[in-house]
Amino acid sequence: MRIGLAGCGRWGTKIARDLHALNLQLEIADPVTGTYASARELPPCDAYVIATPATTHASVLEVLLPHGKPVFCEKPLGTSARELEALPAAARELVFVMDKWRYHRAIERLGRLAADGSLGALAGIATRRLDSRDSQADVDCTWTLLPHELAIVAEIAGRAPVAAAAAASSDGGRVVGLVSHLRAGDAYAVSTISVRSPARVRAVEVIFADGTATFGDDDEATITLASRDAGSTEKLGVAFVPPLRCELEAFVAYAAGTGAPPKSTFTDGVDTVRTIEQLRALARA
């Protein structure tokens, strides 16, 4: 298979690494590191992956959609729901979003715990994603960090969360932190993101009627279960596989006609962008 990769910067190089590991023919469009200067110059391919800056995703999609091939776009799908909705109708069938946390083995296991009811009904989900600095110049942390949190809630709860309330922290007019309150069916969700933290934190706590399940990236192979009645804890082992590799394998299998579609569709991606826009409005960001 031949895959066209648009964008090969800090994150794109990791995507290129994993695509190369799958023994694919890779065509790279990047003004600095690529064979081609832009996505418009890419040759016909069997599928495409977009890893350009978030603010350019819609315009790159517009260039690639006429090829009529599957496209895997890094999150967020864009930074304007209206701009995305104006894309050709083919986007609804061809475009999928790279929500890598939906492929993390621990998050998938938490979703199965929520579905099977072994700890009782799902009551709530609390997530924290803290960094010490912004990772992107073109967008603030609501676009770099929050899409991950929304994807985690969607995977665990089995449905996309809906915005309820939000409060933001700003520095020089730029959002550097956001606390989001959401609903996912009968469950609540609270997400805390920041780029002004002294330590890097990735943490998920799932609250059930009969206990809790917690996970953090300090140990990506373990979920801690706590029973409410017995007051005891249990370590649940989860085989760790890099989620970026998992989602790329899933996309390549789909593009080859041997696998199911990726988990996050174009419509899911637009809904995520719209939810972020709503949370930013609620926080007056």
* Structural domains for the chain: 2-99+246-265 (3.40.50.720), 101-243+274-282 (3.30.360.10)
Q: Of 124, 276, 265, 267, nearest to 193 (Cα)? A: 276
More confident of the two residues 138 and 59: 59
In degrees and rounded to multiples of 5, residue 141 shows phi and psi of: -70, -15
Measure Cα distances from 280 to 128, 180, 191, 269, 271 in Å.
Answer: 18, 9, 13, 17, 14
Q: Residue 68 in 3-state DSSP?
A: coil
- Per the listing, tokens 């083919």 go with 90
Longest CA–CA span in the chain (Å) reads 62
pLDDT at 229: 80
DSSP assignment, residue 36?
Answer: B
Asked whether 190 and 180 are in contact (CB, 8 A), the reply is yes
pLDDT tens column, 221-270? 999 999 988 778 999 999 999 999 999 999 999 999 999 999 999 999 99
For residue 136, pLDDT over 90 is answered with no
> What residues does 196 pair with on adjacent strands?
none
pTM, entire model: 0.96
Whether 217 has a pLDDT exceeding 90, the answer reads: no
pLDDT digits (tens, 9 = 90+) for 184-199: 999 999 999 999 999 9
Predicted pLDDT of residue 210: 95
The helix (run of H) or strand (run of E) holding residue 233 is: strand 233-237
Q: What is the mean pLDDT of residues 35-63?
A: 97
Give me the pLDDT at residue 251, please. Answer: 98
